[in-house]
């Protein structure tokens, strides 16, 4: 992928942008029939969620990712310059091949040293590698956005991506790109206040009879007692309907206020369906020469008073049941990374990860990263972990499909981003 660093004022006029894109089209050949142009710019302070609110279209792919606590990161990826959906086969390998194919024909220009500059690929994978025909999300979706707006600390970056081939109307494309760059560079809107939907307007309906789920739990416990399983995580679904339409931006805004320590996310399939939530679970984080993953299992509520909270924390840290479940996850992650050639390191005892409404046993696991193994290869090895599946993994996956009556879709599944250097962050789309 050719990279051409330039100053923040990459193109002073639309005509300069048009000339640049015309040169890119002129360089196309039979061997290179299309090229992706990725332009990165540093922009004034902007709220990515407000940009998503302004440019959101239900019939376009989108990805939103934010964590308010710590370094304060937020990314809005809107529409797609190019994308891939996978219905069958090795979905992780196909997505990895898609990234490589795109990068081989990408020219990246602008202020490419900025946080979140250059091409980034946004992906979502369903829990299982095949889905029911009624599922709104395919087993894998990955896309390079047309627009990407990010906040990292106090730095703000705009990335626009466009694919050009022999038939591209470059004049029209340059006009649209110029307009978008100008709009977002001068964007000063905040998230519009939308009153939350009243609880009285909600109607909750179980998607299966409670006794069916109870029977599944009883069968699972019997399998554990017979030593066929060591752990299994079963889920049930509730259908929540409102008399007034749900508002995506209002829901995300509420989640980021309530759960600042979690990843708040939204994934749109471009067909009017969105999957949103707030999760504390980092499955894989890769930055330069470092890999991080979290063993997160074993939970307790937060107390209503400091003394009650401390007592619940103490009880969790000494709970044989919760510690056993936690070590299933930790040991699985360590062993899986070792099998990939990593040398993972972690504390022998878990610590607490305390969120607004719940606290977990948590063991961060770190390893050096040579960059020789792609993040999607690591993901294929790790997903699903015992945290949301169980032990032994292959048997548990079959039993989950047998016992659960609703397809998990993106629930408890990997979502995240990957950049052109192989860095990335993959979380698990569970909810807190």
Active-site residue set: 231, 281
Q: Which of 265, 246, 255 is nearest to 77 (CA)?
A: 265
> What CA–CA distances, in Å, run from 95 to 143, 239, 354, 417?
9, 32, 34, 12
User: 19 pairs with which residues across the strands?
Assistant: none
User: 206 pairs with which residues across the strands?
Assistant: 238
HSE-CB of 185 using CA atoms within 13 angstroms:
16
Report the C-alpha gap between 424 and 94 in whole angstroms: 17
* H-type alpha helices, 201-319: 210-225, 248-258, 306-318
Measure CA of the first residue to CA of the last residue in the chain; give whole Å. Answer: 39
Q: Which of 172, 29, 24 is nearest to 108 (CA)?
A: 24
Cis peptide bond N-terminal to 392, omega within 30:
yes
Report the C-alpha gap between 292 and 426 in whole angstroms: 10
Report the C-alpha gap between 175 and 171 in whole angstroms: 6
Contacts of 70 (CB under 8 A, 6+ apart): none
């Amino acid at each position: 992928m050719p990279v051409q660093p330039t100053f923040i004022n990459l193109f002073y006029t639309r005509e300069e942008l048009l000339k640049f894109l015309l040169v890119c089209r002129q360089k196309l050949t039979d061997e290179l029939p299309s090229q992706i142009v990725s332009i990165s710019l540093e922009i004034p302070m902007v709220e990515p969620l407000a940009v998503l609110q302004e440019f959101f279209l239900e019939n376009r792919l989108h990805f939103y990712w934010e964590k308010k606590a710590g370094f304060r990161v937020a990314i809005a990826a809107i529409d797609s310059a190019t994308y891939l959906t996978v219905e069958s086969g090795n979905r992780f390998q196909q997505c990895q091949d898609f990234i490589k194919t795109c990068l081989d024909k990408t020219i990246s220009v602008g202020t490419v040293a900025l946080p979140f500059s250059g091409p980034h690929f946004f992906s979502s994978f369903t829990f299982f590698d095949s889905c029911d025909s009624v599922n709104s999300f395919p087993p894998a979706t990955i896309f390079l956005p047309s627009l990407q707006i990010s906040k990292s600390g106090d730095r703000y970056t705009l990335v626009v991506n466009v694919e050009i081939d022999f038939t591209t109307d470059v004049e029209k494309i340059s006009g649209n790109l110029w307009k978008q760059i100008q709009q977002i560079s001068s964007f000063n809107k905040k998230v519009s206040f939308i009153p939350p939907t009243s609880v009285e307007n909600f109607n909750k309906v179980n998607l299966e009879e409670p006794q069916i789920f109870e029977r599944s739990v009883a069968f699972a416990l019997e399998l554990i007692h017979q030593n066929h399983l060591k752990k299994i995580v079963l889920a049930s679904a509730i259908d929540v309907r409102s008399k007034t339409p749900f508002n995506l931006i209002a829901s995300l805004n509420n989640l980021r206020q309530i759960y600042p320590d979690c990843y708040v996310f939204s994934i749109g399939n471009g067909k009017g369906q969105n999957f949103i939530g707030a999760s504390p679970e980092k499955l894989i984080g890769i930055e330069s020469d470092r890999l991080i993953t979290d063993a997160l299992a074993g939970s307790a509520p937060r107390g209503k008073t400091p003394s009650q909270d401390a007592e619940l924390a103490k009880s969790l840290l000494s709970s044989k049941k919760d510690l056993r479940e936690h070590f299933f996850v930790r040991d699985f992650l360590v062993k899986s990374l070792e099998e990939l050639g990593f040398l993972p390191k972690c504390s022998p005892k878990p610590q607490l990860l305390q969120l607004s409404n719940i606290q977990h046993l948590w063991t961060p696991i770190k390893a050096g990263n040579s960059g020789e193994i792609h993040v999607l290869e690591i993901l294929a090895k790790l997903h699903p972990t015992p945290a949301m599946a169980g032990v032994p993994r292959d048997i548990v996956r079959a039993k989950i499909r047998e016992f659960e009556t609703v397809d998990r879709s993106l629930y408890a599944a990997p979502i995240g981003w990957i950049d052109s250097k192989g860095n990335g962050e993959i979380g698990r789309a569970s909810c807190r």
